Amino acid sequence: MSELHHECGIVAIYHLPGEEISPLCPEQGPEQVSRLVPRMLLDIQNRGQLAAGMTTYNPHRDQLIDTYKDVGSVTEVFRLAHRTDCETVMREYAGRAAIGHVRYATCGADDRSYAQPFERHHLIKYKWFSFAFNGQLANYQDLRERLLSDTDHHLARETDTEILMHELSRELSGDLRPSLSELMQNVSCRLDGAYSLAFLNAQGDMLLARDPLGIKPLVYAKEGPLFAAASESVALLNLGFQPESIQSLLPGQAITITADGRLTIKSFCSHARRAHCFFEWVYFANVASTLDDRSVYVSRTALGAELARLELKHGNVPLDKETIVVPVPDTSKAAADSMAFELGVQAMEGLIRNRYAGRTFIEGGQGRRKKAETKYTPLREVLHGRRVFLVEDSIVRSTTMRVLLDRIRTVGGAREIHVRVACPPIIAPCFYGIDMSTIGELFAPKYVNEGHLSEDVLQRMAADLGADSLRYLPVEAIARAIGFQGDQLCQACITGSYPTAWGQRLYELAIQNSHRGESNGRTYEARGLPAGCRSGPPVADQARRFV
């Protein structure tokens, strides 16, 4: 799963005005609460390592809101390893309110101009704002073309974040002065996709919003005068907020805070359905987080139990002292431990991850393979002569899995390797913020397209990977493990059924591209989408071919 990456993560913090000082606040006082942002971003660094940044609000400086951002990890951007440099940044950008962002690109380039937050300067304070965005707009290309059809508009970047900045600016144009919740309501009716958003203006007003389907997570907490929000609960827990005070913002809700300290939570858009991204619990989220009242750790242990039940029902691998369960570090460990416990065999760490090997996802072709080879070290002392259940959270493109299997066999000396995947086959792209937008880049579709996953098909897939056997969890196991009904989860990448109209249309385009042998370029960035992808009902029969 080192090949698969989420787009972004956001945080926000506000010390509300008043005489009381929060015990969680930095020693320097409420005007320095922005110092907590790098710490929060470190806790969600799993969501993006390409760039980081923050915008702070301080009514006592000329730059009422000011943005600091750059390419690099949180430690690199905020100079956390250099005390003097870090202190200079913290002092210059001190504020009583702040929003922050970590980025991994699913669209756009890798330079500083794409780092977030995005700030829009204006002479009028309520029109001068900054915002951070986690997600993906499935109707990005349509919104872009609509904007550019008006020759007064210009877009400098290939990213939906800039599109969103224009949409927010449009709602604040002229003499319009909507409330923040009205602003979000007006903009949301034009958006198709997944998002959580943090917004801060030069009046000291803050807005946090979550998409109407709840695809992207967003949690918040308030204790005394201190308010904080983040993509994951671990960022708030490690600040010192009590677990019982941390809540998930409901889909379609917005939190608004005004400079005088008024905090309100209000629905800006209602939707009958929920579509939480199941991959948050399977892979993306920090294992210490709880999202929508579902523990990530507990969900992953349940996935491991599902793997064990599947093995006991269909497997024929001997469960003796020569058999061990080995996780692919780190996100598979909870599932692997649980599977081993249920099967009554030993779980061992036969792969050691080199945390300083670099980020394989920014390397292409052979570069990605070479990085994968140095990222994990097989322990021969553990693996030699053993029968290994290798537990992985998913197989996307299969590059890393092929490398791992080769090294476990040749370097580790394993006798047999049986791959067990705590997720169904990935058979369709994601258009909501995960970096896999074409069918051609995925491992499973060419096999699943031939029919259901029979034992013969699974064995052929295993042979192509270099494993002795391969088994995936069925789709229905995901909902059981997480604790939601299937129709409350977005499972588009494992079913081909998308929760939004534009997601389904893009899938139809991806299928057409696949049939033509075209797999280069991200589907949602395609110019001139076919007419059938612009309007009308989804072509359900085409989508079913990959289920």
**Mean pLDDT, rounded, of the chain:** 89
Question: H or E element: which one contains 404?
Answer: helix 399-410
The mean per-residue pLDDT over the stretch 249-257 comes to 98
Active site residues: 8
Q: Which of 144-148, 286-290, 316-320 bottoms out in mean pLDDT, i.e. has the lowest?
A: 144-148
pLDDT at 371 > cutoff 80: no
CB 332 within 8 A of CB 347: no
Establish how many alpha carbons lie within 13 A of residue 57's alpha carbon, considering only the half-sphere containing its beta carbon.
26
The residues near 545 (Cβ < 8 Å, ≥ 6 apart) are 449, 511
Considering the chain, what percentage of its residues have pLDDT values greater than 70?
A: 88
Name the nearest CA neighbour of 96 among 12, 5, 153, 180.
12
| pLDDT band at residue 105 using 50, 70 and 90 as cut-offs | low
pLDDT at 298 > cutoff 50: yes
8-272 and 295-492 in the same fold: no
Strand partners, 472: 421
Per residue in 306-352, pLDDT (tens digit) is 999 999 999 899 999 999 999 999 899 999 999 999 999 999 999 99
CATH for the 295-492 domain, from 3.30.465.10, 3.40.50.2020, 3.40.50.970, 1.20.910.10: 3.40.50.2020
CATH superfamily, domain 8-272, is Aminohydrolase, N-terminal nucleophile (Ntn) domain (3.60.20.10)
Per residue in 220-232, pLDDT (tens digit) is 999 999 999 999 9
Per residue in 12-31, pLDDT (tens digit) is 999 999 868 898 998 889 99
The mean per-residue pLDDT over the stretch 190-205 comes to 97
Whether the full predicted model's pTM is greater than 0.85, yes or no, is yes
C-alpha to C-alpha distances, 254 to 49, 136, 149, 368, nearest whole angstrom: 27, 18, 31, 40
Per residue in 38-78, pLDDT (tens digit) is 999 999 999 988 999 999 999 999 999 999 999 999 999 99
Could you tell me if residue 438 is left (phi over 0), alpha (psi between -120 and 50 degrees) or otherwise beta? beta
| pLDDT band at residue 542 using 50, 70 and 90 as cut-offs | very low
pLDDT at 185 > cutoff 50: yes
Considering only residues 87 and 356, tell me which one the structure prediction assigns the higher pLDDT: 87
Domain ranges of the chain: 8-272, 295-492
Q: What is the DSSP string of 214-254?
A: --S--EEEEETTEEEEESSTHHHHTTT--GGG-EEPPTTEE
